[in-house]
Structure 1
């Protein structure tokens, strides 16, 4: 009974966005585990906040056999319940070295090739929770092939765990400092050349 109450309190604190878990991020780096009908992958994910609710994510992942991909995605975030619990969606470009399966309908034969250089479009949609300096997310990332692979569409479910490298407040503070320096340079009035010859 006590453990149930403790668990309820724990989730209430997370979802209420209490300062104990108030760890909005500017930059986060971590691991991503991907699962699809074709393979399971392990990869690195780096997420960088560009605007208040817009991030850029880079994902490099591999099954250490026949499939390695690199994706760069722009993402829009929308808070659910609190700023620490987000729904996000986005799109980007993907490059890879992948296997492909070509079906011969005449002979019912499947030709398996690998080492194919691929280019495609990635879409992504998911949810994420920022808690105690970490960002945990669950997403679905479909890939639409443009060239290099027979299959037009492949979908992947991913779980990511990232550590917060730069907090959102720290990033905003640095941006304000840089803006202040730029503005001070513009506001400084240059002395006329004739002032150099005037006596004090």
Structure 2
């Protein structure tokens, strides 16, 4: 699996100068494939741009067996070569239903439990490329457990492919329209002074 990620990263770097870039995204939705020492997961990922270089990402993923996990992450983006190819760093909260492994040093046994409600802190570091109406990303997402399982730390490598639902320019246009409508509702147009003397 790690070989696949390496090949994808190499492909992006080699083909970057010739890529036909089009739009940055405002809203993007797609699939995320995760790989860790414990399991492999498939999930949905949605990114929403909230500020100029900041997005919120929601991820729900599962191995369809003993682990299902939800993450909400705030991410700061920085361009590498252009605004369509950037790296990002971020963090947020994670909630899950996971398996746990408890080691007993006395008996040298490992007690395996599942169905544990977990709460943790998720961090993320990744790179992403926006080409046409698609966003391809590779990331590393470590999780620090607060409660619910024995292991304090788990790490996961992920690859995401998202379709752009709302382009950046479209999102900015909608925001300006909402601001304009709000401003006009607060300040209705004033009638000219001469209008006061007109008969109804």
TM-score by length of 2: 0.87
Provide closer, same or farther for how the CA distance between residues 9 and 148 of structure 1 changes in structure 2, counting only shifts above 3 A: closer
| Pairing partner for 1:11 from 13, 16, 19 | 16
Partner in structure 2 of residue 4 of structure 1: none
1:146 correspondence with 2:149? no
Listed as ranges, the matches of 1:40-189 within 5 Å are 40-188=40-188
4+ long deviations beyond 2 Å: 7-11
Alpha-carbon offset, residue 125 of structure 1: 0.4
Q: Deviations over 1:99-137 (max 9, x none)?
A: 000000011000000000000000000000000210000
Gaps of 5+ in 1: 1-6, 15-19
Aligned CA-pair RMSD: 2.0
Q: What is the aligned length?
A: 185
Tell me, in whole angstroms, the C-alpha distance in 1 between the residues paired with 2:38 and 2:190: 65
> In structure 2, what is the Cα distance between the partners aligned to 1:173 and 1:129?
23
